[in-house]
Structure 1
Amino acid sequence: MARPRSFDEKQVLTAVRDQFWDAGYAATSLEDLMRVSGLGKGSLYAAFGDKRRLFLRVLRGYTDDSHGHLRRALAETPRALDALRALLEAPTGATTRRGCLMANSTCELGNADPDVLAHAHRTYETSTALIGDCVARAQREGDLPAGADPIETARALLAAQQGLLFMSRTGMDAAALSATARSLAAQLLPDPAGD
């Protein structure tokens, strides 16, 4: 009879995720994973499989969490336009220096790993759909021009947000990032009255 696991799976996956997020996939060794998880090689592999399977699992968990957060943030903000502006302003804080694990992983592995590339595609399509729904709500609320395509606008907003996130990783000053976010918001989220 197998022994019950004597570790907190969620805690281990969080520690492993943070290791991959900080160092990247290639630079993370088995020793790194054993150190941050507190598990030996046999326990780590028995519970989660090899390094690649473990990485894909934490990447899926990260994107599931991110989509849950995005869904709540877009739905719970009273005015959709304010939620969309907040989406652009999110990467301007000091806590974004790590970037987005999905974007980092796509840059590192997208050309070499078809599973990462397929996951990235699904992730960005889901994000686009969630943002597109918020754009459509802003149109219904009269805060965005009715004639704009919600999905095209959502893709532009997502590209701008990811660009700001990348720029934040370079160490760009928070004030400059905030000014850039405001400029992008003015261009991508125009007032329907033209004010």
Structure 2
Amino acid sequence: MARPRTFDEKQVLTAVRDQFWDAGYAATSLEDLMRVSGLGKGSLYAAFGDKRQLFLRALRSYTEDSHEALRKALSEPPRALDALRLLLDAPIDDPTGTRRGCLMANSTCELGNADPEVLAHAHRTYETSTALIGDCVARAQREGDLPSGADPIALARALLAAQQGLVFMSRTGLDTATLAATAQSLAAQLLPDRTDAR
């Protein structure tokens, strides 16, 4: 009879996810995964499968957490327009975390051409993010803070592209002040002042 697991699966996935996030897929070795997880090869593979399967599990865990955080961030401010502006500020407010970039974007750049499953997951991830942001845009329109005639999904895609661009720029070592000024410029163009929208 198989022995019960004596480790926290979520904790192991988080440690493994951080390793892939820091080093990338190709540069992460089995020894790295054993070291960060605290598990032997047999236990690691018995619980999660081979390196690729473990990576895909970690990537799904990352996107689930990211979407939950996005839902929370978009729903907390009293007005939707403020939530959308905060979306562009996020890469600047947490520069230490974003210097690693977005794990989904990093993984798509590294593996998207070679691994159709990663590419398909990336597509689903960004479509879900777009839909969540689009709902917030529609709420801002109902609140009278954005023009009612604009396509919420089109604006959501533009906002997501802008936010991901800021995350990427942060990885180049761009200073915080320049990132903040860029975010403000993007917000001014994509999310006009309430008085201008009315």
TM-score class, shorter? over 0.9
Query: 2:74 matched to 1:74?
Result: yes
Contact kept, 8 Å, 1:91 with 1:168, in 2: the verdict is yes
Q: After TM superposition, where is structure 1 displaced by more than 2 Å over at least 4 residues in a row?
A: 191-195
Deviations 1:99-125, CA, capped at 9 Å, x for gaps: 110011011111110000000000000
Deviations 1:141-176 (A, max 9, x none): 111111110000000000000000000011100000
Instruction: Tell me which amino acid in the other structure corresponds to 1:120.
Output: A
Q: Unpaired segments of 5 or more residues in structure 1?
A: none
Give the aligned residue type for 1:18: D
Q: Deviations over 1:46-83 (max 9, x none)?
A: 01000000000010010001001101111121110000
Q: In 2, are the aligned partners of 1:145 and 1:191 still within 8 Å (CA)?
A: no
Q: How many residues align?
A: 195
In structure 2, what is the Cα distance between the partners aligned to 1:31 and 1:75?
A: 41
In structure 2, what is the equivalent of residue 183 of structure 1?
185
Supply the distance in 1 between the matched residues of 2:35 and 2:83 (Cα, whole angstroms). Answer: 39
Contact (CA 8 Å) 1:16, 1:58: kept in 2 or not? Answer: yes
- Partner amino acid, structure 1, of 2:171: R
What amino acid sits opposite 1:94 in the alignment? P
**Root mean square deviation of aligned Cα:** 1.0
Q: How far off its partner does 1:192 sit?
A: 5.7
Q: Which residue of 2 aligns with 1:85?
A: 85
TM-score, normalised via structure 2 length: 0.96
Aligned to 1:46: 46
Partner of 1:35: 35
Distance of 1:19 and 1:143 partners within structure 2: 42
The answer for the alignment partner of 1:135 in structure 2 is: 137
2:61 is the counterpart of 1:61: yes
Once residues 63 and 176 of structure 1 are traced to their aligned partners in structure 2, the CA distance between those partners, rounded to angstroms, is 28
Q: Aligned partners of 1:64 and 1:94: how far apart in 2? A: 21
Counterpart-to-counterpart distance in 1, 2:33 and 2:195: 55
Q: 1:193 deviation in Å?
A: 4.1
Distance in 2 (alpha carbons) for counterparts of 1:174 and 1:99: 15
Q: State the shift of 1:94 in Å.
A: 1.9
Instruction: Provide the C-alpha distance between the structure 2 equivalents of 1:70 and 1:194, rounded to a whole number of angstroms.
Output: 27
The Cα of 1:14 is off from its aligned counterpart by 0.7
- Does residue 160 of structure 1 match 2:153? no
AA matched with 2:91: P
- The 2-side partners of 1:101 and 1:49 are apart by 20
CA distance in 1: counterparts of 2:192 and 2:147, whole angstroms: 7
- TM-score where L is the length of structure 1: 0.97
Following TM superposition, by how much is the alpha carbon of 1:191 offset from its aligned partner in structure 2, in angstroms? 3.3
Percent identical:
85
